[in-house]
Structure 1
Amino acid sequence: MHGIEGRGLAGLPLAAVLLLCACSPSKGAKNGDEAALPGNDVAASNFANRMSGQPEPPSPAQPFEQKEKTDLLEFAYAYPAQAAQIPVLAERFGNALKVGKADALKMAREDRKAAREADYPFRAHSLETRWTVAADTPRFLALRSESYVYTGGAHGMTGYEALLWDKARKRETAVTALMTSPAAFAAAIRDRFCDALDKARAEKRGAPVKRSDDDDFTKCIDPMQQVLVPTSKDGKLVDGVTVVIGPYSAGPYAEGSYEIALPVDAAMRKAIKTEYQDAFAAAE
């Protein structure tokens, strides 16, 4: 420590020792290099704030993740830093974690007991949920989750959710609350959605799709019954909505999920309430 090496610190006041420790460059720093050590400035600033009675700036929120694997249950729950810094969302996710884990453990214990009584092998259950950011703009934070549940059967199931946080009003809202009406929004996106779904189906199946209302896996489904996720590429405006479709809804289980990305166009923007249109990108 420059300036105090070779000297005892016992005779210095505690405040002076702390200030020296906070401000002194490391031994590896050369003359003129102190400016390259931003941590020193932060430490000194925090120390000065404490001495003057000013509160220190809050620490940035960290992403949350809990993982645990036992003979009963493989469990995981995660959400991003953007959600962790909003107390209401952090509390909501924390409660969902506790309830979901407790219910999953209860089911796994009951299943294991039944397996022992029937003398057949028990298969450990799984419950995994991960929330990620789909859009983080000045007005909205849009999150989406993917959950995997396995309870010992032939295969597990994947499900999806969306959450929209209105930063201006500091509250959670529904995607449909942004629309002039769900019917108007459905009409605005239906043709594009159906065409894009047929294209996605064809890519998975390796052959063109002949749409038929008599076949659940070739007819166009209702996008409003699926998970709608606002998205943003630049973090400035919502520039699209992705329709997330779980297994079995648009095709057999083997095809998995579908995600149909719809950029904002004039028809979609018109179906958004005037008070929210400024948060959406101009029509492409």
Structure 2
Amino acid sequence: MIRLLTTFCLGLLLQSAGFAAEKPNVLFIAVDDLRPELGCYGSPIAKSPHLDQLAADGLLFNRAYCQQAICRPSRASLMTGARPDTTGFYHNYVSLRELQPNILTLPEHFIANGYEAAYCGKIFHQGDTDDGRSWSRESVKRINGIRKPRGPYALPENNKMKADNMKNMLAKYGEAARKGLAAGPAYEKADVADTGYIDGYNTALAIATLKELVKDDDKPFFLAMGYKLPHLNWCAPSKYWDMYDAADIPMAGETNAPENGAAMGLHASFELRTRAGIPKIGPLSPELSHTLKHAYLASVSYVDAQIG
């Protein structure tokens, strides 16, 4: 799997009657590992009506590239405006403030200019988000009647599988196992509500937070909402899988590396290979490849629905 875009970002201005046009409210949406596999980018199969509508109403970039094809460096670059060559970030295992203790982040800039800043979901990478400087208020943490998902999977057997695999890998490799050596399945289809997975749950929190920010209209606000999908694991409610007929999903036409191509351009698919049920070496079967693409597309449509 090649990451074409680590973070796909959308800025949506929410104009409040209480503020002048020069200080609009801002909703910032980040979607993890989203390829240009959307209707607005010409995908013949992806069902993404809400993102397509937003693109039609706004500005669509046709030459946008991720700064570094891995989570933390790309997010640090996006949220500071500094290239990885400047931040020194090339992997996930050091925090933003360790390398750049004084760098200005995007929400910090908004706070310095009179804004409230809050977030839900994944904006910075794990460990960077709650640095005490980038956010001026907490988002809503719970909603009565909606239970927070207790793991990455909705099905208990898959959460147990992940826990058991982690236990085994910790016994074999020690703490290094926590850096991606143990996981459950690469995908899941479960007949659950949208809030049965974390992206749907975080959307409900973001909506509740948005309502609070609008109600407390003494300051303009910057609200960031970050989606984990379609990063692995590709877990989405059944209804989003059912939006696609598996027989209609096209597969890649080119499956071999280009002749005399640069080895650096190839990808070992480490994150996928660590998932349960995925061969550790060698090609994936056509059946598995088809299921994985189906899972990815279902995840994209699920996130599209949350944004809608």
Q: TM-score, normalised by structure 1?
A: 0.25
Q: Which has the higher contact order (CA 8 A, sep 6+)?
A: 2
In terms of Rg, which structure is larger?
Answer: 1
* Greater fraction strand: 1
